[in-house]
Amino acid sequence: MNMENRKQIAMIAGALALGIVAAFLMGTHIQNSVETQTREIAKTYEQQKGAMAKEMAMVKKELLAARQERAELANQLQTIPQQIKAVKAQGGGPAQDDSQKMALSVLTPPGKRALTIMIDSLSAVGGLINPGDSVDIIAHLKVSEGEKDSEDKGKSVTTVLFQKIQVLAVNTNFVDIGTAKDYAERQTTRSLNVTLAVTPEEAGLLTFAQTNGKLQMALRSPGEEQTEILEVASWESLSDFVLEKQGTELPIEEEKTVIRPTGTDKKFEPVIQIFRGGKEL
């Protein structure tokens, strides 16, 4: 082997050695970079994990506080009946005595009139109404269709006359906490005297309706302020309601129209008029 070949072999061996060293250094650099990034990611994850753990701890603490507050409120609500019973046992207390001694005129809102109607206990929501409640008044009326001297007694009409009427008093109670004993006594009572706050016009119409029919009350929710335009209850309106809501058609016969003569029974005799020179003789 000559000197030229040896030099070439030495150069090739040196190049290979340098390549191996470079590859080793590159691999070491990549490994170090990967390990550095891995440590940074792990550090970031631990920081986020710690922040989430703190947030979870705060949420748990707030939930625990809310549960304790709810438990305290429940305990307070449970003691209310006992407090009411204790007040009753002491004769009602000064506040209740003062409210019972208050004049009804003071409780009547401006522009309204206090009107008392007698209504049976069942029609007054089973006697479960209390002063301060708001009710709708339903009337069952007998409407005459014929003349005064006819034998036609008219037909029955059911409709909501008034909505959102305030109850001022039930019998002689201006303020009533509505205990089970009070409700039981009302349900065994045949009728109740219910005092309502109405306008002067409503007072006249309500008195007229009670004289010519029967009244019934529907209790409203305390927070309900809305009133509605309602249709007069009839077989036709009931049939339409059931058909719309239930898809069932009631076999209701159409009302027959009664045609009455509008003339009189007086007989007319023929009349002959004679004119002369444009003047009637």
The pLDDT tens digits for 236-250 are 887 788 788 888 887
Confidence band for 136, pLDDT divided at 50, 70 and 90: very high
The conformation of residue 127, written as its DSSP 8-state character, comes to G
- Residue 166: which residues within 8 A CB-CB, separation 6 or more? 109, 112, 132, 133, 134, 196, 197
- The torsion defined by the Cα of 38, 41, 46 and 48, in degrees rounded to 10, comes to -170
Q: Is 195 exposed, middle or buried (0-12, 13-18, 19+ CB in 10 A)?
A: buried
| The pLDDT value given to residue 198 | 92
pTM above 0.75, yes or no: no
| The pLDDT value given to residue 115 | 92
| The pLDDT value given to residue 201 | 93
pLDDT digits (tens, 9 = 90+) for 108-129: 888 989 999 998 888 888 888 8
Q: Which residue has the higher pLDDT, 84 or 171?
A: 171
pLDDT digits (tens, 9 = 90+) for 187-200: 777 888 899 999 99
Asked whether the beta carbons of 149 and 215 are under 8 A apart, the reply is no
Q: Is 236 exposed, middle or buried (0-12, 13-18, 19+ CB in 10 A)?
A: middle
- Which of the given ranges, 137-146, 208-217, 223-232, has the highest pLDDT on average? 208-217
- Residue 84: which residues within 8 A CB-CB, separation 6 or more? 177, 179
Lowest mean pLDDT, pick from 15-19, 90-94, 235-239, 244-248: 90-94
Three-state SS sequence of 17-47: HHHHHHHHHHHHHHHHHHHHHHHHHHHHHHH
Domain ranges of the chain: 1-90, 109-246
| The pLDDT value given to residue 116 | 92
Average pLDDT over residues 80-105: 57
Between the alpha carbon of residue 139 and those of residues 103, 232, 266, the distances in Å are 30, 10, 42
**Helical H segments across the chain, by residue range:** 3-89, 93-101, 104-107, 180-188, 200-211, 235-246
Q: Which residue has the higher pLDDT, 49 or 177?
A: 49
Confidence band for 257, pLDDT divided at 50, 70 and 90: very low
